């Protein structure tokens, strides 16, 4: 036995020197033929599997858009459900290629974790949900309340800041998984459930009687949610950034999945550049020139994704608000493609 | 055979490479070197990768402000405290649930283990069913069960169950009056200590007297009197220096007093009940390992079943029980890390959860956490080994 142990051990040591995270993510993705996409463990409207195991949501659509840009086929995605705690390690270690997981863009995450945020796909803010029977109409009346939330999120810090700033005592009950937070809140462990406002609307659907609960008007934080990639691979970072920008630009220019083919014949130079009729913008990020065409054709522009996943006609029923285009009262804004 | 014989008879040029001793030594040296190299490789590889990915490293983060709240803290803690402080809060919460869990599980386990061997059919069946059900359901599910069972079974704060107007039970926890120590309270603590020391002395004296004269002395009741009675007497003698802070319903919740949170109750119940099932089997095995002749001999000396169990069977059974019991204690301590599932702020939840996430320093945080569990386990083992050595058969 001893004789054979040695080469195995030495071999294992050698194997470890292979890098944990390769810098050319695009080449890796192309050679394996799909994108490994880190998503939530089930947040309706953002990333949620249905009863057949198909994932849908705004974040899932981001993964599909990237797959469309790279492969011309939005289905070439595999999903890894990650807890809030696991998500950054999974991305750092190369287990996933991109992480659109309703993740708040903060300075420490952007700078100290070896990660880059590739834009914002949903402007959110932290809110509070309470039982209607409590008769509370403002978050300032929550002094002494028990607050349920997730561990490992910015919400835990925001709620501490908010209650301290307003000199209100509180009790924080932090669970690892969102489902357990919902159950505990539903069982009456807490007076308040706090997370990003979009998440409150989504999780409310899981409660026994969703109509008995209301979201308070106060938004206590800025939570720009966006997809995350590893630092040190600028090409991949650019692709992630510009896929998102292309969809916002498409909405601004009126290009939708329905009319993208006829728009190819448009005289508008901005549309020509977007759809790859003019210029070679795809080449600069290592893709074909029809990258944005494929994204819009198979997934749609930003407005379409919003309406389909979280908009007023969905169970979540969230209005555009801050997420409307800059030209119609929101702050969704993308640099031009030129 | 022939070759060895030839070598043994003094063939002059036997190569050292064929000497099994030298060969063995070489292999061992090579193995140690490769293990060290492997460890070295893992560490440097991790450091290089962390640096290349611009991930912060080092232990400086422990001094930074934590900024988050924790439900239950045995030491003073606020949002302004450091991550290092949060670590201690989590560690103490882990130790609290582990120690109480071990005590409850041991008591329950001994009762069930003895009941399992009872000659009363109903009692032994109940113990059997308990053991088989509890041992065969995953602990995590049991934790969820007890947590949500506790939560759903009790009312909301406004409809609290009330005991004597000062203890309240609701789904935010069990609220009790908190003692406030005034001047002179330390005398009570001293009286309590004197009581403990006194009962030890009484026990030794009674033991010696029994050895010499065969007469028994009511040690148990004397000890109760010393440990409880002495502090109570001091309490009145010093003019009742302990006040009470009663919990009061204010707004959403009770304020003042002290509270036991439902997460703690759920976790403690689950850990104690689960581990007790294993301890019961350990105890049963230990008792069965004592020859039945011992019981018969004891009966024939005129001892009743109670003293037989206490004085003859258990002391012998303990030698078999202690080593596997140590394992159960270690398991319970390590299992307490499942607390993270039901929001009990233990070490894993607070430190390897929230702190890890806020700082992103997974390698350092997890290394510290693992070291802590290792240290806890080794300390428990050391204590149990010492106890085992004390209980071991002394051969004269």
B357–A21 CB contact, under 8 Å? no
CA–CA gap between residue B367 and residue B364 (Å, rounded): 5
- The per-residue pLDDT for B245 is 79
B172–A171 CB contact, under 8 Å? yes
The answer to whether B66 and B321 have CB atoms below 8 angstroms apart is: no
Mutation pick from A90, A171, A185, A234 vs chain B, by most beta carbons of B within 10 Å, is A171
pLDDT at B171 over 70: yes
- The per-residue pLDDT for B393 is 73
pLDDT tens-place string over residues A237-278? 999 999 999 999 999 999 999 999 999 999 999 999 999 999
- B290-308 average pLDDT score: 90
- A116-130 average pLDDT score: 94
pLDDT tens-place string over residues B362-375? 888 999 999 999 99
- A14-19 average pLDDT score: 40
CA–CA gap between residue B302 and residue B306 (Å, rounded): 12
- Give chain B's mean pLDDT: 87
CA–CA gap between residue A167 and residue A147 (Å, rounded): 15
CA B376 to chain A, closest CA, distance in angstroms equals: 24
Enumerate the H helices of B62-118 as residue ranges. 83-116
> Where along chain A do its domains lie?
24-123+225-328, 126-221
Q: How confident is residue B311, by pLDDT bands cut at 50, 70 and 90? A: confident
Q: With a CB-CB cutoff of 8 Å, which residues 246-265 of chain B face chain A?
A: 250-253, 255, 262-263
CA–CA gap between residue B33 and residue A9 (Å, rounded): 11
What long-range pairs does B313-320 form, CB within 8 A, spacing at least 24?
B313/B287, B314/B287, B315/B391, B316/B290, B317/B283, B317/B286, B317/B287, B317/B289, B317/B290, B318/B286, B318/B391, B319/B286, B319/B388, B319/B391, B319/B392, B319/B393, B320/B285, B320/B286, B320/B289, B320/B290
- The per-residue pLDDT for B346 is 92
Q: How confident is residue B396, by pLDDT bands cut at 50, 70 and 90? A: low
Query: What is the percent of chain A where pLDDT is above 90?
Result: 62
- Give chain A's mean pLDDT: 88
Residue A336 tokens, joined: 């031009």
- A130 has which bridge partners? A192, A214
- The per-residue pLDDT for A124 is 92
- The per-residue pLDDT for A5 is 46
Is B21 in the same domain as B115?
no
pLDDT at A6 over 50: no
B363 to chain A, any CB pair closer than 8 A? The answer is: no
Residue of A nearest to B56 (CA): A112
Query: What is the percent of chain A where pLDDT is above 70?
Result: 93
Is B374 in the same domain as B288?
yes
Nearest Cβ partner for B54 among A3, A191, A231: A231
With respect to residue B261, please indicate whether it lies within any of the assigned structural domains: no
> Which of A45-49, B150-154, B268-272 comes out lowest in average pLDDT?
B150-154
B31–A6 CB contact, under 8 Å? yes
Choose among B200, B207, B205: nearest CA to B223: B200
Q: How confident is residue B207, by pLDDT bands cut at 50, 70 and 90? A: confident
- The per-residue pLDDT for A17 is 38
Q: How confident is residue A16, by pLDDT bands cut at 50, 70 and 90? A: very low
Q: Give the helix/strand (H/E) hosting A124.
A: strand A122-124
Fold of the CATH domain A126-221: D-Maltodextrin-Binding Protein; domain 2 (3.40.190)
With respect to residue B126, please indicate whether it lies within any of the assigned structural domains: yes
Could you tell me the residue range of the domain that residue B125 belongs to? 83-140+268-391
The answer to whether A336 and A270 have CB atoms below 8 angstroms apart is: yes
Query: What is the percent of chain B where pLDDT is above 90?
Result: 41
Is B134 in the same domain as B28?
no
- The per-residue pLDDT for B254 is 80
Choose among A69, A150, A143, A64: nearest CA to A104: A150
Is B377 in the same domain as B276?
yes
Distance of CA A86 to the CA centre of its chain: 15
Choose among A81, A73, A61, A83: nearest CA to A29: A73
CATH, residue B91 = 1.10.3720.10
CA–CA gap between residue B102 and residue B272 (Å, rounded): 7
pLDDT tens-place string over residues A194-213? 998 988 988 888 898 988 99
Greatest alpha-carbon span in chain B: 98
Which chain A residues are closer than 8 Å to B349 by Cβ? 151, 174, 176
- The per-residue pLDDT for B61 is 87
CA B111 to chain A, closest CA, distance in angstroms equals: 33
- A39-43 average pLDDT score: 90
B53 to chain A, any CB pair closer than 8 A? The answer is: yes
pLDDT at A83 over 80: yes
Which is more confidently placed, B310 or A117?
Answer: A117
CA A60 to chain B, closest CA, distance in angstroms equals: 23
pLDDT at B156 over 90: no
- A214-242 average pLDDT score: 92
CB atoms within 10 A of CB A6: 14
* Angle subtended at Cα B173 by Cα B170 and Cα B179, rounded to the nearest 5 degrees: 115
Total tally of structural domains belonging to chain B: 2
Q: How confident is residue A105, by pLDDT bands cut at 50, 70 and 90? A: very high
- The per-residue pLDDT for A23 is 60
A177 to chain B, any CB pair closer than 8 A? The answer is: yes
pLDDT at B140 over 50: yes
Q: How confident is residue B45, by pLDDT bands cut at 50, 70 and 90? A: confident
CATH architecture of the domain formed by A24-123+225-328? 3-Layer(aba) Sandwich (3.40)
pLDDT at B122 over 50: yes
pLDDT at A292 over 90: yes
Which chain B residues are closer than 8 Å to A145 by Cβ? 251-253
Q: How confident is residue B10, by pLDDT bands cut at 50, 70 and 90? A: low
Q: How confident is residue A7, by pLDDT bands cut at 50, 70 and 90? A: very low
- The per-residue pLDDT for B11 is 56
- The per-residue pLDDT for A15 is 40
Residue B206 has, within 13 A of its CA and on its CB side, a CA count of 14
Same topology for domains A24-123+225-328 and A126-221, yes or no? yes
CA distances for A160 relative to A155, B230, B261, angstroms: 8, 45, 19
């Amino acid at each position: 036995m001893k004789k054979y142990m040695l080469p195995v051990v030495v071999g294992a040591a050698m194997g470890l020197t292979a890098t944990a995270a390769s810098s050319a993510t695009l080449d890796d993705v192309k050679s394996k033929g799909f994108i490994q996409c880190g998503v939530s463990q089930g947040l309706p409207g953002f990333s949620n599997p249905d009863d057949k195991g198909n994932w849908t949501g705004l974040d899932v659509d981001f993964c599909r858009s990237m797959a469309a840009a790279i492969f011309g086929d939005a289905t070439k995605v595999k999903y890894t459900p990650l807890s809030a705690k696991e998500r950054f390690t999974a991305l750092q270690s190369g287990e996933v290629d991109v992480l659109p997981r309703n993740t708040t863009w903060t300075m420490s995450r952007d700078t100290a974790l070896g990660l880059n945020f590739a834009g914002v796909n949903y402007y959110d803010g932290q809110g509070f949900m309470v039982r209607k029977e409590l008769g509370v109409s403002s978050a300032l009346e929550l002094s002494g309340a028990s607050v349920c939330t997730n561990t490992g999120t910015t919400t835990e810090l925001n709620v501490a800041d908010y209650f301290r700033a307003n000199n209100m005592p509180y009790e924080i009950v932090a669970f690892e998984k969102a489902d357990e937070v919902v159950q505990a809140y539903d069982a009456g462990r807490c007076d308040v459930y706090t997370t990003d406002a979009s998440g409150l609307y989504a999780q409310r659907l899981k409660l026994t009687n969703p109509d008995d609960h209301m979201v308070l008007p106060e938004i206590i934080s800025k939570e720009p949610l966006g997809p995350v990639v590893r630092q040190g691979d600028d090409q991949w970072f650019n692709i992630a950034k510009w896929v998102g920008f292309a969809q916002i630009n498409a909405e601004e220019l009126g290009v939708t999945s329905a009319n993208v083919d006829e728009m190819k014949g448009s005289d508008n130079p901005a549309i020509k550049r977007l759809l790859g009729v003019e210029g070679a913008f795809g080449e600069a990020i290592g893709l074909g020139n029809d990258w944005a065409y494929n994204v819009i054709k198979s997934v749609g522009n930003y407005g379409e994704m919003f309406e389909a996943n979280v908009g007023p006609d969905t169970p979540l029923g969230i209005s555009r608000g801050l997420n409307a285009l800059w030209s119609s009262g929101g702050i969704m804004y993308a640099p031009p493609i030129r | 055979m022939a070759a060895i014989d030839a070598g043994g008879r003094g063939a002059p040029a036997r190569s050292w490479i064929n000497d099994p001793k030298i060969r063995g030594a070489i292999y061992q040296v090579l193995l140690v070197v490769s293990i060290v190299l492997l460890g070295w490789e893992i560490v440097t590889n991790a450091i290089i990768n962390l640096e290349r990915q611009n991930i912060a490293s080092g232990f400086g983060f422990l001094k930074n402000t934590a900024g988050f709240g924790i439900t239950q803290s045995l030491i003073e803690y606020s949002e302004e405290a450091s991550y290092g402080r949060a670590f201690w809060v989590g560690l103490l919460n882990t130790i609290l649930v582990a120690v109480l869990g071990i005590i409850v599980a041991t008591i329950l386990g001994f009762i069930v283990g003895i009941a399992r061997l009872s000659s009363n059919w109903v009692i032994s069946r109940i113990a059997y069913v308990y053991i088989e059900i509890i041992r065969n359901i995953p602990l995590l599910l049991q934790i969820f069960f007890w947590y949500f069972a506790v939560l759903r079974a009790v009312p909301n704060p406004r409809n609290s169950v009330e005991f004597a107007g000062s203890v309240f039970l609701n789904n935010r926890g069990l609220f009790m009056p908190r003692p406030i120590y005034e001047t002179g309270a330390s005398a009570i603590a001293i009286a309590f200590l004197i009581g403990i020391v006194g009962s030890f002395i009484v026990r030794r004296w009674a033991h010696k007297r029994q050895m010499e004269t065969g007469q028994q002395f009511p040690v148990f009741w004397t000890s109760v009197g010393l440990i409880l009675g002495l502090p109570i007497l001091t309490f009145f003698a010093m003019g009742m220096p302990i006040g009470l802070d009663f919990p009061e319903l204010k707004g959403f919740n009770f304020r003042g007093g002290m509270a036991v949170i439902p997460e703690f109750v759920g976790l403690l119940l689950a850990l104690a009940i689960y581990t007790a099932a294993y301890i019961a089997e350990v105890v049963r095995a230990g008792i069965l390992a004592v020859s039945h002749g011992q019981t018969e001999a004891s009966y024939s000396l005129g001892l009743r079943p109670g003293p037989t169990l206490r004085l003859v069977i258990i002391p012998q059974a303990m030698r078999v029980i202690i080593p596997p019991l140590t394992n159960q204690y270690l398991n319970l301590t390590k299992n307490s890390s499942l607390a993270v599932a039901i929001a009990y702020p233990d070490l894993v939840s607070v430190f390897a959860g929230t702190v890890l996430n806020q700082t992103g320093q997974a390698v350092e945080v997890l290394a510290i956490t693992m070291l802590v569990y290792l240290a806890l386990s080794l300390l428990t083992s050391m204590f149990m080994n010492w106890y085992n050595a004390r209980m071991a058969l002394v051969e004269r």
